[in-house]
Amino acid sequence: PSREGGGRRSSADSPAGCVEWLRSLAWWEAQLGSLLWWAVLVQLVGGLLFAVSCYAGLPGGSASLPAPAGWHAQLWCYVPCFAGSVCFVFASAVFVAEASVEPRSLGASIARLNLAGSALFLLASAGYFLAEPPSSPLPAQARFPASEGL
């Protein structure tokens, strides 16, 4: 059957047809038994945590978020960044395990490179907790002579 505009009518034109079409999409379903599905979900959570960290890193970003006094940067910037890094390492490790079926393939090489980058980012995120707090004054040896008059 045709419509007024001469176009063909599909089963997705009706609300019931649209719902059936959405249900037919394989990626739409939760695949709780698939480790890859969980890896993608964990990577999505990691990406959201990085977004929180980026917002908190903007000028005045963490100050607008609730936190105990003096804990804004740690709570809203460093912790989400570290947790997001852990999420990315988990997802990358799952992708490496999945791609290792053909270890010399381009996909396996990319998965290993992704895991290495995620692990280095996790190491950098852990460094936030090893550094001196930003509120502590710098020792005299670390000050620039030009900044003394400011």
The average pLDDT across 89-112 equals: 91
DSSP label at residue 18:
H
- 3-state secondary structure (DSSP) of residue 29: coil
* Number of Cβ atoms within 10 Å of the Cβ of 86: 16
Q: Whole-model pTM?
A: 0.65
The reported pLDDT for the residue numbered 3 is 46
* Six token digits for residue 76: 């809203």
Calculate the CA 91 to chain-centre distance.
Answer: 10
* Six token digits for residue 121: 């980012």
The average pLDDT across 134-144 equals: 57
Torsion angle of C-alpha atoms 65, 70, 76, 78, degrees rounded to 10: 170
Give the whole-number percent of the chain exceeding pLDDT 90: 33
131 torsion bin: left (phi>0), alpha (psi -120 to 50), beta (else):
beta
Question: 62 vs 150, which has greater pLDDT?
Answer: 62
DSSP label at residue 65:
S
| Span 105-129, pLDDT tens digits | 998 999 999 999 999 999 999 988 7
Picking from 3-12, 13-22, 134-143, which range would have the lowest pLDDT averaged per residue?
3-12
